[in-house]
Structure 1
Amino acid sequence: MRYFLIAGEASGDQLGAALMAGLRQLDADAQFDGIGGPAMTGLGLHSLFPMDELSIMGIWEVLPKYRHLKRRIAQTAQAVTAAAPDVLITIDSPDFGLRVAHLARAARPDLRTVHYVAPSVWAWRPGRARKMARVIDHVLAILPFEPPLMEAAGMTCDFVGHPVATADVAGPDEAQLFRNAHGIAPDAPVVLCLPGSRRGEVARLGPRFDEALMRLRDRVPEIRVVLPTVPGVAGLVRDMTRRWPTAPIVIEEAEEKRAAFAAADLALAASGTVSLELAANRIPMVIGYDMAPLSRLIVGVLLRTDTVTLVNLVSDTRAVPEFLGRACQPGPLAQALQQTLEEPSGRAAQLEAMDLTMERLGKGGEAPGLRAAASVIAAVRRPQ
């Protein structure tokens, strides 16, 4: 079969690559077109244009690029029509992918459509599921409580597991090699700084995270800060951190990132999938997030849950401290980091919540990419 896949950010690129690998395993004749990043292009996808053009978030962030994005949406929909795939698979990034699906469906009403990663209707804008059902047939959910919400909106949906639950994590030997390579003393706490994978996130959260870590260093002088990043924002991160008094160790390579996670004792992270990566590595964390003022105002009005941290949601706890919107300030972040680093009870509660989260996301089961591939093939073969 022929598959047209659209990913718009780093996490979607990883999901898309795992899905492509699964499809190749189940479909020897699989052919791929679409938009993707390094992971997907590494498996043979020729991306229509660079994926990082789509790595933006929030109403205020999108507005200056609206005309360009609109042209890219039309271009991508035309490419879908020209490729004549058996199925269009949009991966996360619904603001772009679903607009493409709408245009592609208008040109070809019988086109099968799948969306990978259900919209977070449990958090805000529940009407998005009903709107999505106008152009999407089937959903691949990565959180276990999502299928009933998608089915109620009129789509079929399978929980396929979350890739982070079955990802290979580095061990103590790799952690020690990382410490040795960067001259980190055996008793020095390693703190990860993770301000996001989008340029807007890094620009907004980076200075606040840096100030919080400076304050933590005043109280715990021996800490070493490590900032893993992704290619799309690596240049911005390096330029920004040259001015940071905390002087973090900036790393880009995937293997070094794995080792850094194994070596870490604590993390300050933006809200998002990274909290699950930290949970898989059993790294206690503090979550901070903010948006542009207009986006913050709108989301604040529409938010339907008291937490957006995935570890808290999946484990049904509130073990991970989070600071959102105006609360995302250096002082409270630094205080929470120090408490998380020094108070055993809080760390123990987080570790218990992390273990439960990984169990519920499919740890020990079949690889999510393969489960997702089987779900896609079954959906395409299902009578319309």
Structure 2
Amino acid sequence: MKIAFVVGEPSGDRIGADLVRALRRRIGTEFRAIGLGGEEMAAEGLESLFDIEELSIVGVGAILARLPQLMGRLRETTRFVLDERPDALVIIDSPTFSHRVARRVRQADPSIPIINYVPPTVWAWREHRAAAMRAYVDHAICTLPFEPETLARLGGPPATYVGHPLMTDPGLTPLLARDLDMAPRNPAAPTLLILPGSRRGEVARLLPDFGRTLQLLAAAMPNVRALLPSVERLRPAIEAEVATWPIKPEVVSGSAAKWRAFGVADAAVAASGTVSLELALAGMPMALAYRLDPIGYRFRFLITGWTAALPNYIVGHPLIAEHFHETVRPNHLARRLERLMSATPERAAQIEGFRTIRERMAVERPPGEAAADIVLGLAERRG
């Protein structure tokens, strides 16, 4: 059996690798994974068409600047899938690119089943995409518990919640096994986790504000220390920026170092995104911030969701404070973080919300195994 993948960023790469392992356990040596993926899928035997770093861009402005290159890669990927005629096509996240491939494949060869693992965030913006997906997606595999109901309400394709791969991440599972403690972990010498994002643009837009936040926080909490987990490719730029800060965080790289930091910190300031869910599951109180690129900012009216924080969607109320553009104010962030790093009602409220998130996201089977059932069911139906 041959399954094609279209994956455009590291988070999707991890999900794809998990699915490939599950498929191989079911099918054995007769299984082949082909298409587009990252380092983790390469470790599972997929030879990617090109480096997915080319697709790791955020913001309307960045996309427009690289549009000719992206269109060339779109044609190349579509042509590859059609030439290979796989038993199924699995597109994972990165909807700007992956859904364009899916639409072209469906138009050229309707016989290829198409599965969308991690569907677009129609619950946050551009709701009409849900109904449009029915024309080229046979099944959506969801990693957030509220998504199947949302897709059904908006007229989207059939959908199944399989759980989030984070729930079985070997780095996070020890933290999930720990009881959630209302009290700070280091009351005498609190530790702040700084998470400015995994893409160059968002890091450049947020890191200076986070540096000023740390400086102000240190004035109120003199014994505070900071840890800054970084993806390896961004570490030189991050180290150059933090070298100018009066209060310098310890920069660490690698998955093991990141999860160790999650295990010892008292609170976090982070770029809004999937990391907010990681923090919630780890029981880490947080404040979130984000700045769009200038062109993206002009199109902010397209955002219809009541929140951009995944933990807020899961619990159904504004559990985590969000700071966007003009409200990314270091004086504000520092005061909020001081409260979250102390034994306060604000900290207790977030911890209690994290208990609810753990309960609502719990599943009986590993996500990859449940996802493999869906992919195999559609692939075998074609055969």
Are 1:372 and 2:371 counterparts?
Answer: yes
Partners of 1:14 and 1:30 lie apart in 2 by 19
SS in 2 for 1:306: coil
Are 1:157 and 2:159 counterparts?
Answer: yes
Shift of 1:154: 4.3
Matched pairs, number: 371
Q: Is the 8 A contact 2:148 2:161 kept in 1?
A: yes
Shift of 1:210: 1.5
Match of 2:24 in 1: 24
Paired residues for 1:82-161 under 5 Å: 82-151=83-152, 152-161=154-163
Q: Is the 8 A contact 1:190 1:263 kept in 2?
A: yes
Shift of 1:379: 2.9
Shift of 1:382: 4.3
Q: Is the 8 A contact 2:132 2:156 kept in 1?
A: no
SS in 1 for 2:246: coil
Q: Which runs of 4+ in 1 moved over 6 A?
A: none
Partners of 1:211 and 1:367 lie apart in 2 by 41
Deviations 1:40-86 (A, max 9, x none): 11211111111111111121121111111111111111111222211
Q: Is the 8 A contact 2:167 2:173 kept in 1?
A: no
Match of 1:281 in 2: 282
TM-score, with length taken from structure 1: 0.91
RMSD: 2.1
Are 1:167 and 2:166 counterparts?
Answer: no
SS in 1 for 2:66: helix
Partners of 2:38 and 2:236 lie apart in 1 by 17
Could you tell me which runs of 5 or more consecutive residues in structure 1 were left unpaired when the two chains were aligned: 176-184
Q: Percent identity?
A: 38
Shift of 1:383: 6.6
Match of 2:56 in 1: 55
Q: Is the 8 A contact 2:133 2:156 kept in 1?
A: no
Q: Is the 8 A contact 2:91 2:115 kept in 1?
A: yes
Paired residues for 1:232-243 under 5 Å: 232-243=233-244
Structure 1 pair 212/89, CA: closer, same or farther in 2 (3 Å)? same
Read off the aligned partner of 2:247 and give its amino acid letter: T
Partners of 1:343 and 1:322 lie apart in 2 by 21
SS in 2 for 1:15: helix
Partners of 2:337 and 2:148 lie apart in 1 by 35
Q: Is the 8 A contact 2:8 2:93 kept in 1?
A: yes
SS in 2 for 1:134: coil
Partners of 1:85 and 1:6 lie apart in 2 by 12
Partners of 2:187 and 2:318 lie apart in 1 by 31
Paired residues for 1:236-275 under 5 Å: 236-275=237-276
Match of 2:305 in 1: 305
More moved, 261-270 vs 218-227: 218-227
Partners of 2:156 and 2:193 lie apart in 1 by 41
Partners of 1:162 and 1:330 lie apart in 2 by 32
SS in 2 for 1:342: coil
Match of 1:325 in 2: 325
Shift of 1:294: 2.5
Partners of 1:265 and 1:380 lie apart in 2 by 46
SS in 2 for 1:119: coil
Match of 1:178 in 2: none
Partners of 2:201 and 2:282 lie apart in 1 by 27
Deviations 1:262-313 (A, max 9, x none): 11111001111111111121111111111013212312x1222332111111
Shift of 1:131: 2.3
Are 1:210 and 2:220 counterparts?
Answer: no
SS in 2 for 1:27: helix
Q: Is the 8 A contact 1:52 1:232 kept in 2?
A: no
Shift of 1:323: 0.8
Structure 1 pair 103/265, CA: closer, same or farther in 2 (3 Å)? same
More moved, 287-296 vs 142-151: 142-151
Deviations 1:352-373 (A, max 9, x none): 111211221125x211111111
Match of 2:200 in 1: 199
Match of 1:179 in 2: none
Structure 1 pair 372/267, CA: closer, same or farther in 2 (3 Å)? same
Match of 2:10 in 1: 10
Partners of 2:40 and 2:188 lie apart in 1 by 35
SS in 2 for 1:307: coil
Partners of 1:45 and 1:150 lie apart in 2 by 31
Match of 2:380 in 1: 381
Structure 1 pair 246/27, CA: closer, same or farther in 2 (3 Å)? farther
Shift of 1:239: 3.1
TM-score, with length taken from structure 2: 0.91
Partners of 1:232 and 1:53 lie apart in 2 by 13
Are 1:334 and 2:347 counterparts?
Answer: no
